[in-house]
Amino acid sequence: MNFIIQNVLIPVESGYTTVDVQVVDGKIAAIAPQIDAIAPIIDGKNKLLLPGFFNAHTHSSEMWQRGIMSVLPLELWLAELYDFAPLDPEQVYLSALGTAVETLLSGGTSVVDHLVLIPGLELETIATAVRAYREVGIRAFIAPLIQDESITAGIPSGESAQIHEPYFRSTAATLEIIEEAVRQFHRPEEGVNILVAPTGIQLCSDALFTGCIELSNRYNLCRHSHLLETKAQEKLALEKYGCTAVEHLWHIGFLGDRTSLAHCVWLTDADIAILAQTQSTVVHNPLSNLRLGSGIAPILKYLQAGVNVTFGCDGASSNDSQDLLEAIKIGSILHNVTDLDYQHWITPRQSVEMASLGGATGLNLADKLGSLTVGKQADLVLYDLTNLSLLPRTDPIGLLVLGRPTNVVDHVWVNGKQIVADGNVTTINVDNLRQELFNRSQWETSRKSQTAAQLELHYRTVMGL
Ligand SMILES: [Zn+2]
C-alpha cells in the first residue's frame, strides 16, 4: 500500500526535523520537507517516526510460565521450565500471537523466536508459529531451538564422573526437521525467515553445529545460538573443549556476519576480539540476565571493540514480559555502573540505533532494514508524543528510552502494511486473544519441579555453593 506520513518528527544528526515520508510498494520512497503526491495521508503531527526495533531473542511459548518460575539460576530454572513446558500446539499459537502483540506495542517490528519445539510435533510447532506471525503481520525470524544432548549435560561435571542419558532424537533426525522447515516455511520476501539455531554449546554436539553450518551455507540462513549465558557454561566449555566456547565456535566455523549470539555474559577479552573480527552480533538480554542471576554482559567493552550489539527480551519466563522498550532502557543504563568513564556510556540515540540497525545487522539485513533510509523496507513505528508518559516536551528519544513510556505506540507498519492503528493491533482480535489466554490458564502460586530437585545437589557442588 502507498501512503504519506505528513509533518512527522524524525531524528537527524543535529536534533530533529519535520518531514513527509512517502511509502510506495512497501518501501520508503521519499523523505522530504514536503511531498506532493496523490496518496492516503497519515497525520504525523506531534508524532515521532522511528525504524522498527528488533526483539532479537525470545522464546514465545515461555509466556505460559511467566510470573511463576522459581527464583533459580539458569541451569535449574531450565529444568523447571521443561517440566512444565506447554505441549499443545494451540498454546504455541496463542503465545506467539501474544509475543508478537507485546513486541509491536513496545516498538518492535521484527521478532527472533528461538522457538521451543514440542517433542514429536516439531514441524507442527514451527507451522503453528509461522501461522501466528503471518496473521499478526510482524516480521518473523523463527529459530527452531534444537539440541542433541540431554539436560544434565548442560551442567559441568566438576570432580564427579557424570554419565548423561542419550538425547531422545538423533542429530541427523533433528537436522532433517530443520531442513524440511526451511523448505516449507523460509520465505524472506514474505516476512517469514527460518534460522539455524542450536541452543548452545551446553547441549549441542559439534556434529549438530556442523550440520547447522552446512544448512546455513546451503540455504543462506542466519545462525542463532545462546552463548556463555552463565558462569556454569564458562566452566563447562573449558571441560568440554579445553578452550573457551568462543574459541571453539570460531574453530568450527559457526561465527560470522550472519551469526547472532544471545547473552554473551562470560567472555574474555580475547573472545571479544574474535566476535569483532568475525563480525558476529551480540544480543543483549539484560532483564533475563538479572532475573536468572547470570551476570552483567560487558556491553561497553563490545561496543568499544566494534562488536555489533542489539537487544532481546528473552523468553517471558525469564523477564517476565515482552516489553522491548523496557529491555532497551535497562540494557542501556545498566552498564553505567560497570565503567566509571561516563564517556563510554550508552546514549539514548545509540540505544535506538542498536535496537534498529543493530538488529538488522545481526540478521544480515542492514541494507534492507533498520533505518529511515530511502529504498529500505517500510518497517516503521509512529510514537504519540502527546501521551502523558512522554510529557512535558523535552527530547523525544530521551523520553522514549529513559522514561517509562506507556501505550505510546500509535501506528506500526511492516513492509508498508499497517498492522497497528491508533494504538490497536488491527490484524487480529486482541480481545479474543486475552480471553483465550485467560481461559486456558489458572491462578497458580507454587509448583515442584522434579528435575530441578534432582539436579540441585550436583549443581551446588560443582558451583561451590
Ligand atoms: Zn534464550
Write a three-state SS string for 300-351.
HHHHHHCCEEEECCCCCCCCCCCCHHHHHHHHHHHHHHHCCCHHHCCCHHHH
pLDDT value, residue 193? 98
Tens-digit pLDDT profile for residues 261-283: 999 999 999 999 999 999 999 99
Question: What SS3 state is found at 141?
Answer: strand
Q: Is 268 found in the same domain as 378? A: no
pLDDT value, residue 38? 86
The whole-angstrom distance between residue 437's C-alpha and the CA centroid of its chain comes to 22
Distance separating alpha carbons of residues 340 and 319, to the nearest angstrom? 27
Q: Is 246 found in the same domain as 187? A: yes
Q: Is 421 found in the same domain as 301? A: no
The whole-angstrom distance between residue 453's C-alpha and the CA centroid of its chain comes to 30
Question: What SS3 state is found at 74?
Answer: helix
**Residue 445 counted as domain residue:** no
> Ligand 1 centre and the CA of 163: distance in Å?
26
> Ligand 1 centre and the CA of 116: distance in Å?
10
- The pTM of the full predicted model, rounded to 2 decimals, is 0.98
pLDDT value, residue 256? 98
Task: Name the residues around ion ligand 1, CB cutoff 5 A.
Answer: 314
Domain with 422 in it: 3-50+373-426
> Ligand 1 centre and the CA of 269: distance in Å?
23
202: closest CA among 234, 171, 174?
234
pLDDT value, residue 39? 87
> Ligand 1 centre and the CA of 77: distance in Å?
12
> Ligand 1 centre and the CA of 327: distance in Å?
14
Residue 332 has phi, psi (to 5 degrees) of: -95, -50
> Ligand 1 centre and the CA of 340: distance in Å?
30
Q: How many CB atoms lie within 10 A of CB 33?
A: 9
Q: Is 289 found in the same domain as 178? A: yes
Tens-digit pLDDT profile for residues 35-91: 998 889 999 999 999 999 999 999 999 999 999 999 999 999 999 999 999 999 999
- On average, the pLDDT of the chain sits at 97
Q: Is 144 found in the same domain as 74? A: yes
Q: Is 269 found in the same domain as 126? A: yes
Q: Which residue has the cell 529444568?
A: 79
Q: Is 245 found in the same domain as 129? A: yes
Residue 159: which pLDDT band, with cuts at 50, 70 and 90?
confident
pLDDT value, residue 82? 95
**For a pLDDT cut of 70, what percent of the chain falls above it?**
100
pLDDT value, residue 443? 96
pLDDT value, residue 445? 84
pLDDT value, residue 30? 97
Q: Is 111 found in the same domain as 222? A: yes
> Ligand 1 centre and the CA of 315: distance in Å?
6
> Ligand 1 centre and the CA of 19: distance in Å?
39
Query: Is residue 263 within 8 Å of 297, Cβ to Cβ?
Result: yes
> Ligand 1 centre and the CA of 409: distance in Å?
26
> Ligand 1 centre and the CA of 263: distance in Å?
8
Residue 446: which pLDDT band, with cuts at 50, 70 and 90?
confident
**Residue 205 counted as domain residue:** yes
The more confident residue out of 318 and 38 is: 318
Query: Is residue 94 within 8 Å of 437, Cβ to Cβ?
Result: yes
Distance separating alpha carbons of residues 89 and 320, to the nearest angstrom? 22
Q: Is 215 found in the same domain as 199? A: yes
Q: What is the CATH number of the domain that holds 303?
A: 3.20.20.140
Residue 314: which pLDDT band, with cuts at 50, 70 and 90?
very high
pLDDT value, residue 163? 85
Q: What is the CATH number of the domain that holds 8?
A: 2.30.40.10
> Ligand 1 centre and the CA of 27: distance in Å?
32
> Ligand 1 centre and the CA of 290: distance in Å?
13
What does the block give as the cell for 391? Answer: 510529557
pLDDT above 80: residue 161? no
> Ligand 1 centre and the CA of 289: distance in Å?
10
> Ligand 1 centre and the CA of 316: distance in Å?
10
Query: Is residue 60 within 8 Å of 97, Cβ to Cβ?
Result: no
Q: Is 392 found in the same domain as 319? A: no
Distance separating alpha carbons of residues 64 and 69, to the nearest angstrom? 10
Residue 219 has phi, psi (to 5 degrees) of: -110, 10
Tens-digit pLDDT profile for residues 95-150: 999 999 999 999 999 999 999 999 999 999 999 999 999 999 999 999 999 999 99
Tally of domains in the chain? 2
> Ligand 1 centre and the CA of 216: distance in Å?
20
What sign results for the dihedral spanned by CA atoms 264, 69, 198, 223? Answer: negative
> Ligand 1 centre and the CA of 49: distance in Å?
30
Query: Is residue 44 within 8 Å of 4, Cβ to Cβ?
Result: no
pLDDT value, residue 181? 98
Q: Which residue has the cell 574459541?
A: 247
